[in-house]
């Protein structure tokens, strides 16, 4: 990129919304560049409950159209990202004294089925208390009135979903600039003309762009502050925290959606990545967006509620592998309960600041694709161009095809255990075939890094060469995904660091800086 680079569209923020917009816009022929001050998927996209769901809870607030949209998008993702998004059965236990009784739950289930009438997954079923106890013997039986089961979907690695959108955007011609912080939005005569940024080497550069989309999530207001025009506050995010624990006594077979006794708020207990993901909380947050941690009160709340529903669990802080927290970029509201703030996205034209400036408020992991389609439609109008129709609803993401061929190539290597082959396919989908090719062509990468033979040295090279990884943290936590395991992949940090240093050409000082940064990031998720 040079100082005279010209783009139709510049996007600030490489979370799921920004990545989805970049993919859609590039596929429709626009010249696109996307920036993030950190790695991709380091904000709210990475701190979700990792569900692709229709939003059953939104029915309580009569957001029927949002539920319908979410269910449509769930169906789309199960098709175009079938290697990453899979069906998940969820149970709802119904107890005496709960705010949501059997009749209300049953009506909600019926409405959910009606709104998703074209779905390929089974319909809901309602269980008696005895049937519920038989299905889940570890469940608290005292006061249990009934239960319900329905299907939604899970994306185990939201990071990979974001990444594959960026990969598709790049394949369609987009320029992806991670670890590049936008420092100024340039405006002349009331219209956006471009922006200025610091690249990953700290050098200041400028580009021209006719439209800028602010998809910075919780940082939307901070980005708008880069202009000289005062603006009203748009984001009033709420904090959500999750804890990750291992298997426990009485642990459920299915995911659970439970009404908390303390405040009536629903939360999830979800089997995930050989562990259990428990959350989330929903608390107004106005503190530092760059230093968000799960609080002691949130951790205690999630532990207590899980132990109440599964009394044999006896979970304590010592059982927590790690916790993560972040802020939902919801519309700013001064009154009303947090749970009542709409989860519907808003695509705002910031004409009060400059023509050609657009901000994304809200949005859900599930509906990112539709948000992107609507945003690019608006961009086309701003550019006064008639764009081709959106193609993302029926165009596979890069890893969705070639799974069987990839499995055959991995098996032929003879380097991985069966669980190792399964892991690579779960993380990379059909793109794992390219990792096998690195092993075939470069013998120094043709080895497993762990005794269980589940991780390949070639994955490090692949992350750097093909997947925009710029740091050890990027590689471990958002490419190879081992950072989300029970031990956060710590046993492999040194081996990965040596491989990365050789690939990047780091000197010993840079290597040690990267090792320290990786360890500090992993430690920041630990619960004391």
pLDDT of 120: 73
pLDDT of 229: 84
pLDDT of 119: 66
Query: Which phi and psi angles does 53 have, rounded to 5°?
Result: -135, 160
pLDDT of 57: 77
Summarised one tens digit per residue, pLDDT across range 52-67 is 998 887 887 778 888 8
Q: Where are the beta strands (DSSP E) in 252-319?
A: 255-259, 266-272, 275-279, 283-284
Instruction: State the pTM of this model.
Output: 0.96
Q: Where are the beta strands (DSSP E) in 280-425?
A: 283-284, 320-328, 346-349, 357-361
pLDDT of 60: 76
Contact 430, 402 (CB under 8 A): yes
CA distance 165 to 397: 7
CA distance 444 to 495: 13
Q: Name the helix (H) or strand (E) containing 421.
A: helix 418-428
CA distance 102 to 453: 48
Query: Both ends of the chain: CA-CA distance in Å?
Result: 45
CA distance 44 to 217: 7
CA distance 224 to 383: 21
The bridge status of strand 238-245 relative to strand 320-328 is: antiparallel
Please name each of the domains of the chain with its CATH number.
6-45+159-233+342-394 (3.50.50.60), 85-152+237-338 (3.30.9.10), 402-524 (1.10.8.870)
CA distance 337 to 418: 48
pLDDT of 3: 46
pLDDT of 84: 98
Extract the residue ranges of the chain whose pLDDT is less than 70.
1-4, 118-119, 336-340
Query: Please, which residues have CB within 8 angstroms of residue 70's CB and are 6 or more apart in sequence?
Result: 53, 54, 55, 58, 364, 366, 367
pLDDT of 343: 75
Q: For residue 152, which of 121, 118, 106 has the smallest C-alpha distance?
A: 121
Q: For residue 306, which of 346, 352, 358, 249 has the smallest C-alpha distance?
A: 249
CA distance 351 to 221: 15
Summarised one tens digit per residue, pLDDT across range 91-122 is 999 999 888 877 778 888 888 888 877 667 88
User: What is 434-500 written as a DSSP string?
Assistant: HHHHHHHH-GGG-SBSSTTS--BTHHHHHHHHHS---SHHHHHHHTS-GGGSTTTTGGGHHHHHHHH
∠ CA 484-490-492, rounded to 5°: 105
């Amino acid at each position: 990129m040079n100082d005279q680079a010209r783009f139709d569209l510049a996007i600030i923020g490489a979370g799921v919304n920004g990545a989805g917009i970049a993919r859609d816009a590039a596929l429709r022929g626009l010249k696109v560049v996307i920036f993030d001050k950190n790695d991709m998927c380091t904000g709210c996209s990475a701190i979700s409950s990792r569900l692709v769901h229709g939003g059953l809870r939104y029915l309580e607030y009569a957001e029927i159209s949002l539920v319908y949209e979410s269910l449509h998008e769930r169906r789309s993702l199960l098709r175009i990202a079938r290697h990453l998004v899979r069906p998940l059965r969820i149970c709802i236990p119904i107890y005496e004294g709960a705010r949501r009784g059997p009749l209300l739950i049953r009506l909600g289930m019926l409405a959910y089925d009606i709104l998703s009438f074209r779905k390929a997954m089974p319909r809901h079923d309602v269980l008696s208390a005895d049937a519920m106890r038989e299905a889940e013997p570890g469940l608290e039986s005292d006061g249990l009135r009934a239960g319900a089961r329905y299907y939604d979907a899970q994306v185990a690695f939201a990071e990979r979903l974001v990444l594959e959108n960026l990969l598709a955007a790049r394949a369609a011609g987009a320029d992806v600039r991670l670890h590049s912080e936008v420092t100024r939005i340039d405006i002349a005569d009331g219209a956006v003309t471009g922006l200025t940024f610091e690249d990953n080497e700290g050098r200041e550069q400028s580009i021209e762009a006719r439209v800028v989309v602010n998809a910075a999530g919780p940082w939307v207001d901070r980005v708008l502050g880069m202009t000289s025009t005062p603006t009203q506050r748009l984001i009033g995010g709420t904090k959500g925290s999750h804890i990750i624990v291992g298997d426990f006594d009485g642990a459920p077979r299915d995911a659970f959606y439970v009404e908390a006794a303390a405040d009536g708020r629903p939360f999830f207990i979800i089997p995930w990545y050989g562990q259990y993901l428990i959350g989330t909380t929903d608390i107004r947050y106005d503190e530092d967006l760059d230093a968000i941690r799960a609080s002691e009160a949130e951790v205690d709340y999630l532990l207590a509620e899980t132990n109440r529903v599964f009394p044999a669990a006896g979970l304590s802080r010592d059982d927590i592998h790690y916790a993560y927290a972040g802020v939902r970029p919801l519309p700013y509201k001064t009154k009303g309960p947090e749970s009542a703030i709409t989860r519907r996205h808003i695509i705002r034209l910031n004409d009060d600041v400059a023509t050609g400036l657009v901000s994304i408020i809200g949005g859900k992991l599930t509906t990112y694709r539709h948000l992107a389609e609507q945003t690019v439609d608006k961009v086309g109008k701003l550019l006064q161009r008639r764009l081709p129709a959106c193609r993302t609803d029926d165009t596979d993401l890069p890893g969705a095809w070639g799974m069987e061929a990839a499995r055959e190539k991995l098996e032929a290597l003879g380097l991985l255990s069966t669980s190792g082959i399964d892991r690579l396919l779960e993380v990379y989908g059909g793109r794992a075939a390219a990792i096998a090719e690195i092993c075939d062509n470069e013998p120094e990468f043709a080895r497993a890094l762990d005794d269980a033979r589940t991780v390949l040295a070639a994955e490090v090279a692949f992350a750097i060469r093909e997947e925009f990884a710029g740091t050890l943290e990027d590689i471990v936590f958002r490419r190879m995904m081992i950072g989300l395991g029970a031990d956060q992949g710590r046993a492999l940090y040194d081996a990965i660091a040596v491989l990365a240093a050789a690939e990047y050409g780091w000197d010993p000082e840079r290597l040690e800086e990267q090792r320290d940064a990786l360890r500090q990031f992993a430690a920041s998720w630990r619960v004391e």
